[in-house]
Structure 1
Amino acid sequence: MSADTLATAKPAVELEGITKRFPGVVANHDIRITVRPGTVHAIVGENGAGKSTLMKILYGMQKPDEGTIKVDGAEVSFRTPSDAIGVGIGMVHQHFMLADNLTVLENIVLGAEPKKLGLLDTAAARTRITELAQTHGLRVDPDRLVEDLGVGDRQRVEILKVLYRGARILILDEPTAVLVPQEVEELFQNLRELKSDGLTVIFISHKLDEVLGIADAITVIRRGTTVASVNPADVTARQLAELMVGSELPTPETRESTVTDRVALTVAGVTMEADGHRPAANDATYLDRLRAEGARLLLDDVSFEIHEGEILGIAGVEGNGQSELIEAIMGIRPAHGSVELGGRDISGWSTLKRRESGIGYIPEDRHRQGLLLEASLWENRVLGHQTRSPARRGIWVNRRAARADTQRIVKDYDVRTPSVDTLALALSGGNQQKLIVGREMSGEPKLLIAAHPTRGVDVGAQAAIWDHLREARAAGLAVLLISADLDELIGLSDSLRVIYRGRLVAALDPSDITPERLGGYMTGAIAGTEES
């Protein structure tokens, strides 16, 4: 689209006076945003600022109490996402919504299948997908199973899925949260292609440097309302952070070392088959035979130590064994090898016993693994701690003590909520995460497994979580940090390991590594040598 055409074209999206209230809280108040066609328009703001609610309104998932929405100059009203899709709005969610057991083609057409004589017209679907992929620079193999795809490829499938349904306006929610730097640059190249083809992108992100690198315009939301619209060329990341939260952009930098000579966790030779099967004993011959047969191992001879006062970072593209490693340490999934906590072999212990012995766990997916969304905050405080004080009194849950301790977490961790009786689903993502961090830091754990502890949270909540991790480390806590945020990994970790296809392939010094080089090790572009 030429500059002259853009100047005279009607706005792709106009939001005027959008207001949305929930019991006890106003999520959006008098939101005003104008998105020009053929541009990347970024929306930034801390968690709880109202971005998610606003996008749900624009995508037809919620109805505003006040205000109007215009698309291409015409006022619209949405009851469902189908209505939004009908006027050309598509949304790619932060958590991908793909079926692993289906092919790329099947995922893209699912729910919008072209039919011929009542059957799926595969040829027509393939032609349309290939045409879209070539037009917009989104390379995919229609016949590959989604379970075999990396994160960047899955994201391209999600984008093609909405384009296939005729979207001309794309909402991307935290699209770079799980990408390594090379994949981020590929995504940005895809977005530039989409923009040059006249499509409009609404880009939601917490990564301010990336926003400044891709956006044509930026709208800042704070406390539910729009506070600024800025040209990326006129602001720095620091200034943008100040607009968002009223403070400087935080850094994850950890200063002095607190690593002791006392070993908190020892993982030795941990190996896991693809089917999760485990013979009665750790049979080395059996594992050697599996390797000789070329069997797929989710974890292959993983060994490391974490000392008290140390943060050990594990870097890797998602799907390379990080989740399985956590499950092995937590006792969620059977594995070969041994796990020792404070010198005691816990390999045969249940997950509950491991938790009771001092393992805290911040899960990678707070909604699926960390919270009961339909339960109150104080009930969520009890989760995983139900056999210990303050939650336990005899055989009963001690409600009074649990509520009081939840109030302590709310105060100490700045969880913004009307009450400890509020349902977890009513909190923003950042406040949900701070509640989980507070819960898992309670009870003086010996080891904390922190999986993506700041994923999807704003710079304010991010800084608070980093501070809590640093303080706990200084007090002697051992931390296993798994994150897709490479600056976070490099800044917080005392030592770094890279996991690739289930093996630890490199041991790196965080003080002597860049995100670009680390991304090279993670993708296999740089071959590493693992130190024992």
Structure 2
Amino acid sequence: MSEHPERSTTTAGPATTVPAVELNGITKRFPGVVANSDVTLKVARGTVHAIVGENGAGKSTLMKILYGMQRPDEGTIEVDGAPVAFHTPADAIKAGIGMVHQHFKLADNLTVLENVVLGSEPRRGWRLDIEGARQKIVEISDRYGLDVDPDPLVEDLGVGERQRVEILKVLYRGARTLILDEPTAVLVPQEVDELFDALQELKAEGLTVIFISHKLDEVLKVADEITVIRRGTTVRTVLPSEVTPRKLAELMVGSELPSPQTSESTVTDRPVLEVKGLTVRDREGRPVVDDVTLTIHAGEVLGIAGVEGNGQAELVEAIMGIRPAEGSVVLEGRDLVGVPTRERRTAGVAFIPEDRIRQGLLLESPLWENRMLGHQTSPPNARGPLVNRRGARADTERIVRDYDVRTPSIDVTASALSGGNQQKLIVGREMSGSPRLLLAAHPTRGVDVGAQAAIWDHLRRARAEGLAVLLISADLDELIGLSDSLKVILRGRLVADADPATVTPEDLGSAMTGAGATGATGAKPGTAHDTDGAAAAEGSDA
């Protein structure tokens, strides 16, 4: 396949003479980097048009331009055949364009309804029409299978639920073209299928979806057309029928599609982490992690599979010392109960957080300061009681080089990086210093196939050297491929074990939703809650 810009001569999906969106010659420059260079994009009305490319390729910048968050230095934008010049997202919304960001724009202390109507408050005369808004939200939710309850606080929702709220918020504002940035990153296979069914409903009513994803198999399944961007420039637009995942990966990064598969076991009989009876309670005293017991040995990756919001985030944070918990957490013979987070880090616990923006980075600080975050009292970031600026900068340069963090300088702020490059910086930081235990929540979320393969390689090498890993991932292929053992968490309880050598993503997805908790799908019932795992799926409201 040619890597020079070209267009497919065949158009998929409903044919219309006027594209929903057309970008011509879009160029955007930042100090030290050209994010977009002469990008062209034509999106037919009533289609799903995927945009793929490696981290730093310019996808997010291009979508921010289309959504009015940034203005191009050169080029033109047309919506429904009419030239437009967006100065703010409000301009784009008025033109019928909505965007669901990879990092959600929700207020945790407000309800779902309040978040959806925020900035578009409905009125009947001079009064707020809350009941009218509620009815509209329920109608949209039911129509597209989003399963959104208007009443809970957003802070009580899982990541997957928050994503559905964001999609509903865009539809509530009357968007005719939806930009979805990594919409399946937090979903299990069944939820992905439900989302794709909803996209088909949107298409059937003439709505248009611009779909950004790193999951090439999903792109090929859902998209009518696919545009590949490399190094800020349009490479090619193709039909899914014209390419395979391998060929699409070659267009993106010039390499084959990687595999997470681990070929040989490095598990030893030396326990690194022993958790017994761990329970985490919410503000009402209900258990969100319920009597969890597990052991991870040196050289072992223990994968935890679960639908977002079933307690895996709280489990990791309790082990890290971020959340108060009942029960026992022992690291290489040392009881960590009552030990603060900083001391746990010093003892050898590394932490890749679920949400890099909220928990992993200081967005307005330079990269070298972010490298120190959480490790500011340890070499090479410190020399005695003093900050070792030179050491921190030198090690940041090493991480940028070893983990292929695309940045013009370690002095730029973390906010200037794409999401995938932010993730690579965090992974590099946490893998530094020879940790004994790695708590890895979605370590490759939002990274391209090349960076994903590099992170997998780093994890495999550290595992071979004796690192113990607790792995949380929404990518079930990754979870199965990297794990030496697998457990399923459902409503805060470990309800089943699975053999990575035989279990399929579909089997695991069934167990995660409760359908496979009895072992019928290849996941074996867990030892701790054999009798009540299925009941937990139906009866627990924790």
Same fold (TM over 0.5): yes
After superposition, give the CA deviation of every residue in 1:299-356 in whole Å (9 maximum; x if it has no partner): 1111101000000011111111112111211111211111111111121211111100
Asked if the contact 2:228/2:234 (under 8 Å) is kept, the reply is yes
> Aligned partners of 2:72, 2:154: CA distance in 1, in Å?
36
1:194 to 197, 202, 208: 202
Query: Partner residue of 2:85?
Result: 77
2:176 to 168, 177, 191: 168
Does residue 183 in structure 1 map to residue 191 in structure 2?
Answer: yes
> Aligned partners of 1:331, 1:126: CA distance in 2, in Å?
39
Asked if the contact 1:136/1:197 (under 8 Å) is kept, the reply is no
Does residue 423 in structure 1 map to residue 419 in structure 2?
Answer: no
Query: Partner residue of 1:26?
Result: 34
Query: Partner residue of 1:301?
Result: 291
TM superposition shift of 1:368: 1.7
> Aligned partners of 1:212, 1:465: CA distance in 2, in Å?
24
What do you get for the CA RMSD once the two structures are aligned? 2.0
Q: Which segments of 5 or more consecutive residues in structure 2 lack a partner in the other structure?
A: 1-10, 519-524, 529-542
The letter for the 2-side match of 1:115 is R
1:368 to 358, 369, 382: 358
Q: Tell me whether 47-56 or 97-106 shows the greater mean CA deviation.
A: 97-106
Asked if the contact 1:316/1:499 (under 8 Å) is kept, the reply is yes
The letter for the 2-side match of 1:462 is Q
Q: Tell me whether 66-75 or 431-440 shows the greater mean CA deviation.
A: 431-440
Q: Tell me whether 98-107 or 469-478 shows the greater mean CA deviation.
A: 98-107
Does residue 465 in structure 1 map to residue 452 in structure 2?
Answer: no
1:236 to 244, 253, 264: 244
1:113 to 121, 126, 131: 121
> Aligned partners of 1:306, 1:446: CA distance in 2, in Å?
11
- Measured at CA, do residues 346 and 145 of structure 1 come closer, stay the same or move farther in structure 2, by a change above 3 Å? closer
TM superposition shift of 1:469: 0.3
Query: Partner residue of 1:454?
Result: 444
Query: Partner residue of 2:7?
Result: none
Does residue 513 in structure 1 map to residue 509 in structure 2?
Answer: no
Q: Tell me whether 498-507 or 487-496 shows the greater mean CA deviation.
A: 498-507
Q: Tell me whether 90-99 or 387-396 shows the greater mean CA deviation.
A: 90-99
Query: Partner residue of 1:204?
Result: 212
Asked if the contact 1:499/1:522 (under 8 Å) is kept, the reply is yes
1:267 to 275, 282, 289: 275
2:526 to 514, 524, 530: 530
The letter for the 2-side match of 1:531 is T
Q: Which segments of 5 or more consecutive residues in structure 1 lack a partner in the other structure?
A: 277-294
Asked if the contact 1:152/1:183 (under 8 Å) is kept, the reply is no
Asked if the contact 1:14/1:70 (under 8 Å) is kept, the reply is yes
Query: Partner residue of 1:396?
Result: 386
Does residue 17 in structure 1 map to residue 7 in structure 2?
Answer: no
TM superposition shift of 1:131: 4.6
Does residue 441 in structure 1 map to residue 437 in structure 2?
Answer: no
TM superposition shift of 1:431: 2.1
* Corresponding residue pairs, total: 512
- Measured at CA, do residues 141 and 391 of structure 1 come closer, stay the same or move farther in structure 2, by a change above 3 Å? closer
TM superposition shift of 1:9: 2.8
TM superposition shift of 1:408: 2.0
TM superposition shift of 1:268: 0.9
Secondary structure of the residue aligned to 1:90 is strand
TM superposition shift of 1:7: 3.2
The letter for the 2-side match of 1:459 is V
TM superposition shift of 1:102: 4.6
TM-score (norm 2): 0.90
- Measured at CA, do residues 389 and 254 of structure 1 come closer, stay the same or move farther in structure 2, by a change above 3 Å? same
> Aligned partners of 2:253, 2:277: CA distance in 1, in Å?
45
> Aligned partners of 1:418, 1:148: CA distance in 2, in Å?
38
> Aligned partners of 1:371, 1:494: CA distance in 2, in Å?
30
TM superposition shift of 1:151: 5.3
Secondary structure of the residue aligned to 1:54 is helix
> Aligned partners of 2:49, 2:321: CA distance in 1, in Å?
45
Secondary structure of the residue aligned to 2:92 is helix
Asked if the contact 1:374/1:423 (under 8 Å) is kept, the reply is yes
- Measured at CA, do residues 319 and 72 of structure 1 come closer, stay the same or move farther in structure 2, by a change above 3 Å? same
- Measured at CA, do residues 408 and 127 of structure 1 come closer, stay the same or move farther in structure 2, by a change above 3 Å? closer
2:260 to 252, 257, 260: 252
The letter for the 2-side match of 1:448 is L
> Aligned partners of 2:467, 2:446: CA distance in 1, in Å?
25
Query: Partner residue of 2:63?
Result: 55
> Aligned partners of 2:360, 2:474: CA distance in 1, in Å?
18
TM superposition shift of 1:48: 0.4
After superposition, give the CA deviation of every residue in 1:273-301 in whole Å (9 maximum; x if it has no partner): 2139xxxxxxxxxxxxxxxxxx5201111
Asked if the contact 2:49/2:211 (under 8 Å) is kept, the reply is yes
Query: Partner residue of 1:315?
Result: 305
The letter for the 2-side match of 1:488 is E
> Aligned partners of 1:438, 1:447: CA distance in 2, in Å?
15
Does residue 68 in structure 1 map to residue 76 in structure 2?
Answer: yes
Does residue 157 in structure 1 map to residue 153 in structure 2?
Answer: no
Identity of aligned residues (%): 73
Q: Tell me whether 362-371 or 513-522 shows the greater mean CA deviation.
A: 362-371
Q: Tell me whether 509-518 or 141-150 shows the greater mean CA deviation.
A: 141-150
The letter for the 1-side match of 2:297 is H
The letter for the 2-side match of 1:50 is G
- Measured at CA, do residues 111 and 249 of structure 1 come closer, stay the same or move farther in structure 2, by a change above 3 Å? same
Asked if the contact 1:6/1:38 (under 8 Å) is kept, the reply is yes
TM superposition shift of 1:449: 0.9
